[in-house]
Structure 1
Amino acid sequence: MGFLAILLALLIEQARPLAYDNPVHGGLRAWARSVRRNLDAGETPQGWVAWLLAVAFPTAVAAGVYLLLMQFSVLLAFVWVVAVLYVTLGFRQFSHHFSEIRRALEEGDDESARRKLATWLRVEPTSLPRAELLRQVIEHSVLAAHRHVFGVLICFLAFWLVGLGPAGAVLYRLAEYLSRNWRERLDGTPSPALQHAAARAWRWIDHWPARFTGIGFAIVGNFEEAVASWRGDADRFAVGSDGVVLAATSGAINVRLMRLPEGAPPPEEGDPAARPDPQLAHLGSVVGLVWRSVVLWMLLLALLTLARI
């Protein structure tokens, strides 16, 4: 059931992607906002209680509905799993940004590409050099693929194997959302305690999914370079698990995603910083890397499903 549910959810999402302002995501955002406003008292214990409630309640609902439906109808339980995966998993939640930026770059319209990237990241447009623009597009694309596809898949499978249905997908997506939404704002909210809880919980939850994503990229890309880059230089790419994903990507498609400090000496041969600067062709390499990884994990899931029959 797990393999078919994931496959069907991906196909439906490709044919009919969810809008950003869909009622399900809107309801979860309202829930998280309500929890923050009512429980954020500025103390560490309250920060963890708020995070646990914001994440645990929807996760428990996803598992509870699945277990309840399994008592009456396997078909209804299957429909529930597909529905949950549909709202938590998918390329189309971010891929349209990538496609528009890539099209603008192919047409030579760098200014339009910068505006579209700024819209995606919800920041003010800047005058990025072309190489830096490409680097940021690649970085945000692979991280989005990890957070919207591979991380969700891995957490879903972990909970699925212990009989909790789609609860893992809900847990992962909510933890990732809160790590972004519960950051410091201009009005001073949320409190540092709540920010710390959301960020730390996200680091714990994303630890293994990020490494599985890195393994997948290494297998379908340049294995030796990806593993060497990951093991030796992940911290130089980004803090935490993001560094693992970016380091593996850099080695897998042989592109420099590491920023050199101004005035730094030329990197030595073998250093990840010595790889070629991002080019337009690397965007195609990223697409191929991601889709090959999807095929890899779907094949592994199919084999796991057959082994359990």
Structure 2
Amino acid sequence: MDNTAAGILVGALIDGAVADPRSWHPVAGFGTAASALERRVYAPSRLRGTAFAALCVGAAAGAGVVLGRFGVLGTAAATWIALGGTSLTAVGEAMADALESGDVEAARALVPSLCGRDPDALDEAGICRAAVESIAENTSDAAVAPLLAAAVGGAPGVLAYRAINTLDAMVGYRTERYREFGWASARLDDAANYLPARLTGVLVAVCGGGRPAVRAWRNDADRHPSPNAGVAEASFAGALGVRLGGETAYRGYVEQRPVLGEGADPGVADLRAAVRLSRRVQIAATVTAAVLAFSRGRSGRRACA
């Protein structure tokens, strides 16, 4: 089997077995280093922000080049570092357990592990909606996109992708501080997730969403302020038969999001269904990425023959 394809499969298996460590995760280390660099170079300038993003992403890709020299094990390590799908669904399950037992405070405490919403502004219904939307978006960002990046770019590609996505989570906001400095990071993230988000929509339909997922994607995705999150969230909404969107409170500001899908607001049962759907999509994405990597490797060997 092609080294990249094998590395993707091994990395996905490791993520499924051990998920993200609670401490000393390489992505957390990258975030710490990026924060230190931001403090040194920050200015409300797109030029400064572009240089910041280029340095960070270039460093991550360079680390991937080093890992890639170790063949299957190096690609597996890079893939595992970039994946977050198992942790995503574990948090979703824990949140559903807490809500089912009536412990809204415990569920609220888990919100920051999924998204940047203001937990204090969320009741049980708001927690469910935030969780389903975040599981949908992060199924693309934390699972499908890294796998596709690994298939196309190997270890350098998958670590560059994870750097881009992490920078967007750090500085890609429309706040006064980051509107200019975070512009390049946000645009890079939009570009890096364009194809993965649409693959996510396809896989949601294939993995159980069917025509309702496609219909919600077609009718509602473009209403979302993100060109990529809208695809994932709308397809999940259609697949689950729920309505997403509405008033969305972050720390310091509130957004009015468009309605995606049809039906009732999501409840605990829908949150559990979102977790199950995410897992199916992640498995399908792993197989798709491995097949793509194998096909690319085989085509490359033929071209060299």
Amino acid at match of 1:293: V
Amino acid at match of 1:175: I
Shift in CA distance, 128/46, structure 1 to aligned 2, threshold 3 Å: closer
Q: Which one of the candidate residues 211, 214, 222 is aligned to 1:224? A: 211
Shift in CA distance, 114/79, structure 1 to aligned 2, threshold 3 Å: same
Q: Which one of the candidate residues 88, 93, 98 is aligned to 2:92? A: 98
Displacement, 1:114?
A: 2.4
Does 1:46 pair with 2:48? yes
Amino acid at match of 2:4: G
Higher relative contact order (CA 8 A, sep 6+): 2
Whole-Å Cα distance in 1 between the matches of residues 15 and 213 of structure 2? 30
Find the residue that maps to 1:178 and give its secondary structure. helix
- Is the contact made by 1:259 and 1:273 (CA closer than 8 Å) also made in structure 2? no
Q: Which one of the candidate residues 245, 266, 270 is aligned to 1:282? A: 270
Higher share of residues assigned strand: 2
The structure with more radius of gyration: 1
Query: 1:72 — aligned with what?
Result: none
Find the residue that maps to 1:222 and give its secondary structure. helix
Q: Which one of the candidate residues 93, 116, 119 is aligned to 1:125? A: 119
Whole-Å Cα distance in 1 between the matches of residues 261 and 43 of structure 2? 44
Shift in CA distance, 272/65, structure 1 to aligned 2, threshold 3 Å: closer
Q: How many residues align?
A: 285
Whole-Å Cα distance in 1 between the matches of residues 28 and 245 of structure 2? 36
Whole-Å Cα distance in 1 between the matches of residues 146 and 203 of structure 2? 14
Does 1:292 pair with 2:280? yes
Shift in CA distance, 107/194, structure 1 to aligned 2, threshold 3 Å: same
* Cα offsets for 1:118-173 (capped at 9, x unmatched): 565466532534333211111112222222111111111121xxxxx212211111
* Cα offsets for 1:239-298 (capped at 9, x unmatched): 32111110111112211113389xxxxxxxxx9554232132212321221222223233
Query: 1:109 — aligned with what?
Result: 103
Whole-Å Cα distance in 1 between the matches of residues 216 and 261 of structure 2? 10
Shift in CA distance, 213/127, structure 1 to aligned 2, threshold 3 Å: same
Shift in CA distance, 168/104, structure 1 to aligned 2, threshold 3 Å: same
* Cα offsets for 1:210-264 (capped at 9, x unmatched): 1111111111123222122112211334432111110111112211113389xxx
* Cα offsets for 1:23-52 (capped at 9, x unmatched): 523431233124323333443323212211
Shift in CA distance, 17/285, structure 1 to aligned 2, threshold 3 Å: closer
Whole-Å Cα distance in 2 between the matches of residues 113 and 286 of structure 1? 16
Find the residue that maps to 1:258 and give its secondary structure. strand
Query: 1:266 — aligned with what?
Result: none
Whole-Å Cα distance in 1 between the matches of residues 244 and 117 of structure 2? 21
Shift in CA distance, 297/195, structure 1 to aligned 2, threshold 3 Å: closer
Displacement, 1:80?
A: 1.0
Q: Percent identity?
A: 25
Q: Which one of the candidate residues 6, 23, 31 is aligned to 1:4? A: 6
What TM-score does the superposition give when structure 2 sets the normalisation length? 0.81
Amino acid at match of 2:46: T
Query: 2:171 — aligned with what?
Result: 182
Shift in CA distance, 301/172, structure 1 to aligned 2, threshold 3 Å: closer
- Is the contact made by 1:225 and 1:251 (CA closer than 8 Å) also made in structure 2? yes
State the 4+ residue runs in structure 1 displaced beyond 6 angstroms. Answer: none
- Is the contact made by 2:64 and 2:156 (CA closer than 8 Å) also made in structure 1? yes
In structure 1, stretches of 5+ residues that fail to align are 70-75, 160-164, 262-270
Query: 1:251 — aligned with what?
Result: 238
Query: 1:56 — aligned with what?
Result: 58
Whole-Å Cα distance in 2 between the matches of residues 172 and 306 of structure 1? 20
- Is the contact made by 2:217 and 2:231 (CA closer than 8 Å) also made in structure 1? yes
- Is the contact made by 2:5 and 2:294 (CA closer than 8 Å) also made in structure 1? no
